[in-house]
Amino acid sequence: MPAYSLLCDVRRTESTADLLSYLDRSEPGFAPYLLAAWSPELTAQDTVVLPYLAVLLDEPIALRKPRTGHAAARRLTWHCAIRNTTGVELDDDDWFELTRELLDVTGIEPDGDASACRWVAMRNQAGGLDIVATVIRQDGRWARLHNDGYAARAVCADFAHAHSLDGAR
């Protein structure tokens, strides 16, 4: 089995609030923070209240039924956990670049799509990043997430190769 420099795991869950609460735990000596979000106003704030953030993320889900006439299904929160196993420290610009590539390729927020899914990228440890999104777009439609786990892992592998992380062990 190959050894990966950036471990990437994509899952879905039912509760955005519970997931954000879980991710707010951090490793000792590291203060968790919001790296980026679908809305630049969120990252400009000094602090973000997680229950409020969960409501903002889930707003398209709540609006889906009035807009489309269809109730939302279960497991609508998308979570991508990325862990750097190399020991080489990535700065916030690197993590942001990886986030943008991953959101585009997976279909969470394709480049130039103003109605894409809402998402946040959180740092809760020195060697990791968590991206949380809802799979209902802001226009009420489902995101196109076909093979999103494979796509996310491919982006991480390409990023590791481009940044010479794959030989950094």
For 101-112, the pLDDT digits (tens) are 999 999 999 988
What is the Cα–Cα distance from 110 to 124, expressed in whole angstroms? Answer: 25
What is the Cα–Cα distance from 139 to 35, expressed in whole angstroms? Answer: 25
For 21-54, the pLDDT digits (tens) are 998 887 788 888 899 999 888 876 667 788 899 9
Average pLDDT, the chain: 87
pTM (2 d.p.): 0.90
Res 151 pLDDT > 90: yes
CATH 3.30.930 is right for the domain spanning 6-162: yes
Q: What is the length of the chain? A: 169
Percent helix / strand / coil, the chain, rounded to 5: 35, 20, 45
